[in-house]
Amino acid sequence: MTDVTALTATQIAGLVATGGASAVEVTQAHLDRIAAVDGRINAFLHVDTEGALAAARDIDARRAAGEELGPLAGVPVAVKDVLTTKGVPTTVGSKILQGWRPPYDSTIVQRLRAAGTVMLGKTNMDEFAMGSSTEYSAYGPSRNPWDTDRIPGGSGGGSAAALAAYEAPLAIGSDTGGSIRQPGAVTGTVGAKPTYGGTSRYGLVAFSSSLDTPGPCARTVLDAALLHAAIGGHDPRDSTSIPAPVPDVVAAAQLGATGDLSGVRLGIVTEFGGEGAEPGVTAAFDEAVDTLTKLGAEIVEISCPHFRYALPAYYLIAPSECSSNLARFDGVRFGLRTGDDGNRSLEEVMSLTREAGFGPEVKRRIILGTYALSSGYYDAYYGQAQKVRTLITRDFTAAFERVDALISPTTPFVAFPLGARTSDPYQMYLADLFTIPSNLYGGPGISVPCGLSDGLPVGLQVMAPTLADDRMYRVAAALESAVGTFTPPAL
């Protein structure tokens, strides 16, 4: 039998559906691969061997019984540790939730199960999804399969690394400022942030509620689209979930794969030009733009004058919401409790617990957010950031009157060496320079590999209007059909 870990999700699903391989065989092959390589990658925080094999056996039994199974039945998936999984540890990459086994499943995980996928385990991430390298994980960084001395991006570096290391064909991420797209870019994989409200946040441990968006990660655009279709759609348990059908992203990916973009107008954001992407990244992007032109797309320059305020606005809104969202981690109902010696007061125990349980980046953002929401500063910081959000949305709306989608490099730089940006938090923040505007606006964005720079992957981002997720899949699939997929050196 061929090595199933080298196959795409689409191929695996076909194999399982036609009896070419059992779900158990597929699952076992991936578990073996994890056992073989994850010591060097650290993509997984928890491998649910028993649960995965049980789910695979169930799929095989249902197939044997002649049950109609979904298009992803029997395909293994890795889930970012930000989503609750009933009875399976969920840590959000933080010590404060070490050992917590949630009593309920997130909607995304329920839908993954309903689709017949097999959850392999939970992937590493920057603590509470705050970071761009997974170096802020309390459980050690994940490593980039292209070069294990480099970061796999973040916060969802574990999911991206698992894909690039062939430990899983599909993965779930969450994107608050670029946490799906940037890891996708630096690992040579595909990562899509759906329209905010297009995927349910129920059971997604909140970082910044108005920005957090769970989404699909894969090695191909079509696989990402299939996963997107499986997890997307309205959820009555999330008030911000949009009561509309998921755009037909699978059909759009298939259409794009024909390599024809004639009639499609793409905009390049003028303001991103001067923002200091690395020369190698710019070169790869420019080459991809030529490719898109050859595929028939029309390219225009578009000015989005307020995009330069996106990063500052984001670093006010996200920390503000996080300071409130993370207040519940107090050692009362779940998670860590430290310092309860029978003498200390609750306030002291809470403060010691949070001090011990949170890492430095989380603490910085909690303090920053507490400051930005304080009565004397609210208007100048949080209030003003929300107005910037309005202006950025207007920039997008105006741009989409002229073009079908916007394109940019996903991130200004390729995978950087571990430790290169941890001492200066603001340098780390710059990794999300190009991805943050979509989060503030709420529209979808996808990162697709477009080339290499010094042997390291570069991603191209496609940004589309809200609820037009299908458009970005078409463009991404077209580019993929022209440049192919990218495989890291053997581990």
116-145 binders of another protein (CB under 8 A): none
- Nearer to another protein by Cβ, of 152 and 331: the residue is 331
- Work out whether 203 is an interface residue with another protein (CB under 8 A): yes
Q: Nearest approach, Cβ of 394 to another protein (angstroms)?
A: 9
Instruction: Based on the shown chain and the rule CB under 8 A, indicate whether residue 329 belongs to the binding site for another protein.
Output: yes
Contacts with another protein in 346-365 (CB under 8 A)? 346-352, 354-355, 358, 360, 363-364
Helix, strand, coil percent values for the chain (each to nearest 5): 45, 15, 40
Using CA atoms, how far apart are residues 319 and 116, in angstroms rounded to an integer? 36
To the nearest whole angstrom, how small is the minimum distance from the Cβ of residue 88 to another protein?
13
Question: Is 179 an active-site residue?
Answer: yes
Stretch that binds another protein, among 1-9, 141-149, 250-258, 326-334 (CB under 8 A): 326-334
Both tokens of 114, joined, read 């309903």
Q: What angle do CA 253, 254, 257 make, to 5 degrees?
A: 85
Please count the residues of this chain forming the interface with another protein, following the rule CB under 8 A: 99
Does 10 help bind another protein (rule: CB under 8 A)?
Answer: no
Residue 469 engages another protein in binding (rule: CB under 8 A): no
Smallest CA-to-CA distance from 116 within 161, 154, 61, 163 is with: 61
Cα of 83 vs its chain's centroid, Å? 12
Helix pair 279-294, 469-483: axis angle to 10 deg:
100
Which one, 318 or 458, has the nearer CB to another protein? 318
Subset of 420-459 contacting another protein (CB under 8 A): 424-426, 429, 440-442
Give 32 or 355: the residue with its C-beta nearer to another protein: 355
CA distances from 129 to 192, 328, 430 (A): 16, 16, 16
Verify binding: residue 207, another protein, rule CB under 8 A: no
- Cβ(143)–Cβ(419) below 8 Å: no
From residue 314, give the alpha-carbon distance in Å to each of 59, 233, 436, 437.
42, 26, 7, 9
Active site residue 294: no
Map residue 180 onto helix, strand or coil.
coil
Q: For residue 104, state whether it binds another protein (rule: CB under 8 A).
A: yes
Stated as kind and residue range, the H or E segment containing 357 is: helix 346-357
Does residue 237 bind another protein (CB under 8 A)? yes
Shortest Cβ 136–another protein spacing (Å): 14
Nearest alpha carbon to residue 323 among 382, 368, 275: 368
Active site annotation includes 95: no
Residue 283 CB, nearest distance to another protein (Å)?
A: 28
Closest approach, Cβ 417 to another protein, in A, equals: 21
Backbone angles phi, psi at 251, to 5 degrees: -60, -40
Q: 10 Å Cβ neighbour count for 438?
A: 32
The pair of three-digit structure tokens given for residue 309, joined into one six-digit string: 């305020």
Is residue 398 part of the contact set for another protein (CB under 8 A)? no
Q: Which of 22, 132, 142, 155 is catalytic?
A: 155
Q: How far is the CB of 337 from another protein (least distance, A)?
A: 4
Dist. CA 42–CA 229, nearest whole Å: 28
The site map against another protein for 46-85 (x = CB under 8 A) is: -------------------------------------xx-
Instruction: Kindly list the catalytic residues.
Output: 80, 155, 179
